[in-house]
Amino acid sequence: MTRAFRGCHILALLAVACGGCDPVEPDVVAPQGNTRERAATLKVVAPLLPGRATHVAVDSTGTVFWVQESSDAHDAVLSLGPGDVPVATGVSSRTILRALGVRDAGATGTIQSLCAGANDYVYFYFAGGTRREPVHAIGRFRRDGEELDIVVSPETLARETGFGASIDLARGTLFGSSSDHTPWLWLRHLDRSTLMRVELKPAGPVEVGPDRARLVRPFDTVRTEDDEPMPLTRPEYQLAAAPDGALVLLDAWLGAVWRIDSTTGRMRIARSLVGLPRTVSAPLFDKDGNLLLAFGDGPVFEAKVEAMVADPIVRTTWPAVLVLTSPTDKRVRSPWARWTSEVDTFSGRSLEFSAPLDAKTWTPVEADAELGMTRWITYDSASGALVRLSVERGQ
């Protein structure tokens, strides 16, 4: 299926999906005069290379890890040490290849994703090897690169995902939530995608197979409520896991937030983003299950189907952080159906938000002794800086 044909097919599905959505409570629109501007500070904690694919994860202790995909496929994971000093963890393309048993001196590889897991582990997706012997694998490590091991081997990954030899054309992304530290694997290339859970095998005297984890596929295909398949292959898609177990797709191609049932794969549009800036963060959640999106300034999402034509759901100055809450009426099926009347706005450059600094998402970081501030860590692609953003919390 060509990309152009696929785009037309998806638009047809969306017209049906949007037209069939159940009514939800009226949106709470925050008028310009009611938005609350809060104090915000930006601090560069590490100068990195601009315009690079950069992956950030925060473990349960609040330690920040990051990796940049290098042009020569010799990546290295670093962390923030005392005094915000970057520290090498010892996890690199070379050490991962060694753990995989690849001895070819010409072998290289990239770390395509980082994800915080349980017990202070950080999981990674690795793609590399040689032209003759490509290897894709999932591994994990603890702070300072301790206990680096491979939890899903290349053979298991290629077989269980069904990608086989075509896995070398794919990219892997790991993601999870603060309430469920079991990572999800999102593997995709131009023609196919799959979603699987990376579940550790129970500890016991006898371990079956060479892998510490197994890949579990809860559903075969993501489908709309009209049973039409929805391939998650577009580069404009971002996935996250909500605290209630659902999956959330931020669709920056369409301009919408989709909710995916993590047991059946059924999806429906939860919120249109038409009229809001196209520069938008990955989905983030607070402890109450509210969806938070950070928007930069710039061109806005335009409606691609007639059913999505509407006025902007909120009017404020940008950049801003918007909080999307669920309706209190349990009869309303759509979660995150209302914008709160409190909108965070702050001045500064447009940033690409990567991950919350604190493992408990949006609560203050107690270790920093700056109560009353919410802290994020982010990579600013334009300047190449790893930035800590502190925003005054609402009362």
pLDDT tens profile 179-229: 778 999 999 999 999 999 999 988 654 454 568 999 999 999 999 988 999
Q: How many CB atoms lie within 10 A of CB 119?
A: 11
Q: Kindly list the domain boundaries of the chain, sorted by start residue.
A: 3-392
pTM: 0.81
Q: With beta carbons less than 8 A apart as the criterion, state whether 286 and 271 touch.
A: no
Q: With beta carbons less than 8 A apart as the criterion, state whether 336 and 328 touch.
A: no
User: What Cα–Cα distance (Å) separates residue 352 from each residue in 54, 141, 375?
Assistant: 10, 26, 14
- Cα atoms found within 13 Å of the Cα of residue 25, Cβ hemisphere only: 20
**Residue 20: per-residue pLDDT:** 41
Q: CA 341: distance to chain centroid? A: 26
> Any residues with CB less than 8 A from the CB of 283 and at least 6 apart, and which?
238, 240, 242, 248, 250, 257, 291, 292, 293
Q: What is the architecture, at CATH level 2, of domain 3-392?
A: 6 Propeller (2.120)
Q: Could you identify the residue written with the tokens 């590399």?
A: 128
The answer on pLDDT for 3 being more than 50 is: no
Q: With beta carbons less than 8 A apart as the criterion, state whether 268 and 259 touch.
A: yes
Q: Distance (Å, rounded) from C-alpha 60 to C-alpha 184?
A: 18
- Name the range with the highest mean pLDDT among 117-121, 183-187, 324-328, 357-361: 183-187
Mean pLDDT over residues 229-245, rounded?
91
User: What Cα–Cα distance (Å) separates residue 151 from each residue in 75, 146, 195, 216?
Assistant: 19, 14, 17, 14
Q: What are phi and psi of 11, to 5 degrees?
A: -60, -40
Residue type (1 letter), 339: W
**Residue 372: per-residue pLDDT:** 42
**Residue 38: per-residue pLDDT:** 55
Query: For residues 309, 311, 317 and 319, what is the CA-based torsion angle, rounded to 10 degrees?
Result: -20
**Residue 63: per-residue pLDDT:** 85
**Residue 25: per-residue pLDDT:** 34
**Residue 326: per-residue pLDDT:** 61
User: Which of the two residues, 392 and 248, has the higher pLDDT score?
Assistant: 248
Positions of E strands within 242-384:
247-251, 256-260, 266-272, 284-285, 291-295, 320-325, 338-339, 344-345, 352-356, 373-380
> Any residues with CB less than 8 A from the CB of 207 and at least 6 apart, and which?
201
Query: For residues 213, 219, 220 and 226, what is the CA-based torsion angle, rounded to 10 degrees?
Result: -160
User: Which of the two residues, 358 and 211, has the higher pLDDT score?
Assistant: 211
- Cα atoms found within 13 Å of the Cα of residue 203, Cβ hemisphere only: 0
**Residue 40: per-residue pLDDT:** 58
The answer on pLDDT for 296 being more than 50 is: yes
Q: Distance (Å, rounded) from C-alpha 201 to C-alpha 215?
A: 10
Q: Tell me whether residue 134 is exposed, middle or buried, using C-beta atoms within 10 angstroms of its C-beta: 0 to 12, 13 to 18, 19 or more.
A: middle
Q: Which of 19-28, 46-55, 158-167, 188-197 has the least mean pLDDT?
A: 19-28
pLDDT tens profile 297-350: 789 999 887 767 666 667 777 767 777 776 544 444 445 544 443 444 444 444
pLDDT tens profile 83-92: 788 899 999 9
The token pair at 180 is: 């469920």
The answer on pLDDT for 366 being more than 90 is: no
Q: Which of 65-69, 167-171, 364-368 has the least mean pLDDT?
A: 364-368
**Residue 391: per-residue pLDDT:** 59
Q: Distance (Å, rounded) from C-alpha 292 to C-alpha 65?
A: 22
| Mean of per-residue pLDDT scores for the chain | 76
Mean pLDDT over residues 276-295, rounded?
78
